A and B are shown apart, each in its own frame.
Chain A
Amino acid sequence: MPLQSLDIAARSATTTPPPGIRKTLEVAKLIDVTKCIGCKACQVACMQWNDIRDEVGENHGTYDNPRDLTAKSWTVMRYSEVESQERGLEWLIRKDGCMHCEDPGCLKACPSPGAIIKYANGIVDMQQENCIGCGYCITGCPFNVPRISEKDNKAYKCTLCSDRVAVGLEPACVKVCPTGCISFGSKEDMKDIAEERVVELKERGYGNAGLYDPQGVGGTHVMYVLHHADKPELYNNLPPDPAISPMVSLWKGVTKPLATLGLAAVAIGSLFHYVTKGPNEVSKETEKEVEKELEEEGKQ
């Protein structure tokens, strides 16, 4: 059961309106990458609040640990060493995790009613009790975020601490960040904070600084301030213009009603063909011919 059952904006595999009489404030988390020191306190806070302990991994020669998002690690720091003529070596650190898209590809792809819901405040949350483990959310996600657990075959990802937000608290990662790099509040306020910060960064020589709130997915409820907003791919391949893939739209868009109507038409068409044209029976003529043949055979 979702915590905020009155405030649901969208529900997977559901064709009727979800409960949604209340209009709530849209929230967002703003991650100011330019203030991040890579301490991983957010990763630790995420583990602690959600009470999940990932396996202790191995050193792969980078600071990334674990190396990738997993069913037990819903946020992971990505460390990119980027060299350029103008700036020399830069260490670009990004906190990766679910972006909480306004138009979520996971929810669009999910075949199980109510396994993924989007709250009116913009948080996209998986309801593992309804998850069937098909992995369509992974196919649908433009950011490669959901992970299926090998233990229980359910999909997991960042909840934006929907349980904390529901009772008026900020997400655990926001609470713990020592540099104030992560803020949480209404989406409008977060945009204002970002705007001020971008002005500051531009003054300090980051001419391409900007807010990452990709409109291809209708905007996101986790946004980044980037020093190089013109090249998001520098930050461990953050997609420059993410959108739900046309393949996913085709699959979950027109194919569904079109195929359903097509099948119904064939079935009903067959029935009416039978009713209007009648069955295709062996003609009396042929029956007589065969009888005659058999009689002749008998005489021989």
Chain B
Amino acid sequence: MKRDPNDLQRYTASERANHWVVGISFILIALSGLALFHPAFWPLSMLFGGGVWTRIIHPFLGVLMVVSFAAMAVRFWKLNVMTPTDWEWLKRAKEMVNGDDHNMPIMGKYNGGQKMLFWALVVCMALLFVSGILIWRAYFSGFFPVGVVRLGAVVHAAVAAVMIALIFVHVYAAIWVKGTIRAMWYGTVTRPWAKQHHRAWYKEMTGK
């Protein structure tokens, strides 16, 4: 099916593929991590072939997620540098959440909320990676004093919970703002979508 030729290209195929590697590894790592986090989630370990497999697979998925996220961060970090307009946007974010975006400042490719999410994820990924190495008993824990491993366990659990919450918000925002998800499926958005939500980017792309 041929889509509207007037649609705007928001993501290249390689950017989308990169995002999905991060996304899939995140889903798997969150499910396996939750299984090890609270007994209520223990049944999730069955998705991975039982507790032992969950324990084996989880850290390797973590490495995949961190590496693929790092690649994505290299692609996108410049677009996520905060500007004064972004802070202004964040101050008004409550109005938008309440359903009125008429007074929102004009945004480029990303708005202040998206940028904050990006940087929060950078911090979470870094903390999860370092603390994950500390508690990876099969290869690394033995090299560190037990006090450091204990700190690693707390940091890993707490940051993981924060990151899962951030991703919930990320996914919900994509569902809430209609016409967004297609940008991650096949890379394009409609012109009205771009004009309404990212007017400066729209101008950049169309000259209007």
Chain A residues near B (Cβ < 8 Å): 13-15, 109, 111-113, 130, 132-136, 138-139, 144, 148, 153, 245, 247-248, 250-251, 255-257, 259-260, 262-263, 266-267, 270, 273-274, 277-283, 286-287, 289-290, 293-294
Contacts and interface: CB of A to CB of B under 8 A. Distances in A.
A255 B151 CA distance: 13
27 contacts: A111-B42, A112-B42, A112-B51, A132-B50, A134-B137, A135-B141, A139-B135, A139-B153, A148-B137, A247-B151, A247-B153, A255-B154, A256-B37, A256-B38, A262-B161, A266-B168, A270-B169, A274-B175, A277-B98, A278-B99, A279-B178, A280-B99, A280-B178, A282-B178, A282-B192, A282-B193, A293-B208
B54 A277 contact: no
SS class of chain B's interface: helix, strand, loop or mixed?
Answer: helix
A293 B178 CA distance: 22
B178 A290 contact: no
Contacts, number: 134
B82 to A, nearest CB: 22
Q: State the 5 A-B residue pairs at the shortest beta-carbon distance, nearest first.
A: A135-B137, A259-B161, A247-B150, A132-B51, A270-B172
B150 A245 contact: yes
B39 interface: yes
Contact of A263 (B101, B135, B164, B195): B164
A287 B150 contact: no
Contact of A133 (B52, B96, B135, B191): B52
Nearest to A294: B6
Given A15-B40, A279-B176, A255 B6 contact: no
A256 B160 CA distance: 11
Contacts of A278: 99
B107 interface: no
Given A139-B146, A259-B157, A290-B191, 12 more contacts: A13-B39, A133-B138, A135-B138, A136-B153, A144-B146, A255-B154, A256-B38, A266-B169, A280-B177, A281-B179, A282-B193, A286-B192
A113 B147 contact: no
